[in-house]
Amino acid sequence: MAAATRKVLGIVLAGGEGKRLMPLTLDRAKPAVPFGGHYRLIDFALSNLMNSGLRQVVVLTQYKSHSLDRHISQLWRMSGMFNSYVTSVPAQQRLGKRWYLGSADAILQSLNLVYDEKPDYIVVVGADHVYRMDFEAMLEAHIASGAECTVAAIRQPISLANQFGVIDVDPAQPDSIRDFLEKPADPQGLPDSPGEVLASMGNYIFTTDALVDAVLKDGERTDSNHDMGGDIVPYFVEKGTAGVYDLKYNDVPGSTARDRSYWRDVGTIESYFDAHQDLISVLPIFNLYNNEWPIFSRQDNMPPAKFTRDARGTLSTVIDSIVSLGTVISGAHIERSVVGTRASVDSGAMVTDSIAFDDARISKGATVRRAILDKNVVVEAGATVGVDAELDRLRGFTVTDTGITVVGKNVCVTRGLKSR
C-alpha cells in the first residue's frame, strides 16, 4: 500500500495513575508532569508522532486529567484541514460504569474511534517515556514483515534484563518474537550481541483488523489483566504473527551518536531525576537542541531568562544547567540543575543537582540540594531542602532511598520544622 493512500491512527495511552512518581502526580496525571523546564512528559510521544507524519492522534486519558486535557487543547490544536487532529478522549464507560481495567481495555472501550476513522494501521504508544523515534520507519518495517503486531525494542545490558519486559527472538528469524519474558532472571542474549537483550519500549504498531480482533477476544477473558504488553503482545506471539523493531535501526534526523538510541522510562522519582541529569552535560545524553526533530511544547509569551548581580554586586553563576523563560537569577549559584519558567532565585541562594518547576521561589541565602520542587514552591530566606534528610522527612516531604527530596505543589518551606 502506498504511503500516500494508507491510513494510520495514533493512539496515546495516557490514563495511568503514576503512583511511583508521587507527590508529583498528586494533582496531575503522569503524562502531564513537567519535564526539562517547560515541557510535559506527553510532549515527547506527541512530538515523535507529529515528526513522523501522523496527523490523526487520540490521547486516551483517565486519572486527574484536567491539566493534561488543558495542555493538549491549548498546545496541540490542529487546523482541522485534511482531517488533522490531536484530541484527548476521557474514559467513556461505553461498556458499563467502570474505569479502564488496563491499557488493552482502554482501546477496547475506545473502538468507536477506530470504527469512525477506519485506519489500515494503528500506532499505540505510551505517554510517559523520554525518547526520539521515527514511527514512519517502524511502520515501513511492520508492513514489509507481514506481521500483525510489531513491538519497538531497545537494546539493554543483559544484567538489567530483570527490570524490563524482554523480547526473546528466534536466531533464525531475528525480527520475529519467539517469546515475551516479563523481567526474566536469566535470559538468552541476542544472536549478534550475547551481552544484550531487547527490552520492550511500550510502543507498538498493529494491522487494524488484527488489533480489533485481539482486544475483543481479550475483553471476554476473565483471566486477563487486559494489558497491551502482558496480554495482547503474548497473544500475537502465540499466533506467530508478532515481530520486533530494533531502535538501533531507527535513524532520526539530527540525532548524534551519543543520543541516537536514547530511551528512558521515567516512572520513578529516581529515573525522572536521572533523566534530567541526562539533559545538562556539555554533550547531552539526550539532546533537546535537535532542530531537525524538535520536541514541541507550549511557548508562553514571556521574556528571556535574566541573570543579574545582586544589590552588593555579587555575580550570578550558572553551570551545566537549563534555565527556562521568564526566570530571574540574582546573585545566586545554580549548578547541574533544571529551572522551570517564571522562577526566581535570589541573592546568595545555592541550587545544585536539583529540578525546580514553574514559578518556584528560592529566597535569599536558601540552599536546595538534590531536590525536586513542584510548581509554586517557596523556599524562604535561609531555609534548606535536601541538606538534612531527617528534617525533610519530619516536614512531611518525600525522601527517596537515594536521597532525593521532593517538595509538593504550593508548599512554603521555612527555616524551622514546620512548612506550610
Annotated binding-site residue? 182: yes
Annotated binding-site residue? 380: no
Nearest-10 Cα torsion for 105, 108, 109, 114: 140
CA atoms of 145 and 137, how far apart (whole Å):
12
Nearest-10 Cα torsion for 334, 339, 343, 344: 0
In the Cβ-directed half-sphere of 114, how many Cα atoms lie within 13 Å? 23
Annotated binding-site residue? 270: no
Residue 367, SS3 per DSSP? strand
CA atoms of 33 and 39, how far apart (whole Å):
9
Q: Count Cβ neighbours within 10 Å for each residue of 50-67 and write b for 16 or more, e otherwise.
A: bbbebbbbbbbbbbbbeb
Region class of 21: left (phi > 0), else alpha (psi between -120 and 50), else beta: alpha
CA atoms of 381 and 270, how far apart (whole Å):
28
If one counts every other C-beta atom within 10 angstroms of the C-beta of residue 256, the result is: 13
Annotated binding-site residue? 30: no
CA atoms of 286 and 248, how far apart (whole Å):
15
CA atoms of 35 and 339, how far apart (whole Å):
10
Q: Do residues 384 and 373 touch, judged by C-beta distance below 8 A?
A: no
370 exposure class (CB count in 10 Å sphere: 0-12, 13-18, 19+): buried
Annotated binding-site residue? 121: no
Q: Determine the straight-line distance between the first and last CA of the chain, rounded to whole angstroms.
A: 61
Nearest to 204 by CA among 249, 234, 181: 234
CA atoms of 392 and 387, how far apart (whole Å):
8
Please provide residue 214's backbone torsions phi and psi, each rounded to the nearest 5 degrees: -65, -45
Binding positions for alpha-D-glucose 1-phosphate are: 100, 165, 182-183, 200
Binding positions are: 100, 165, 182-183, 200
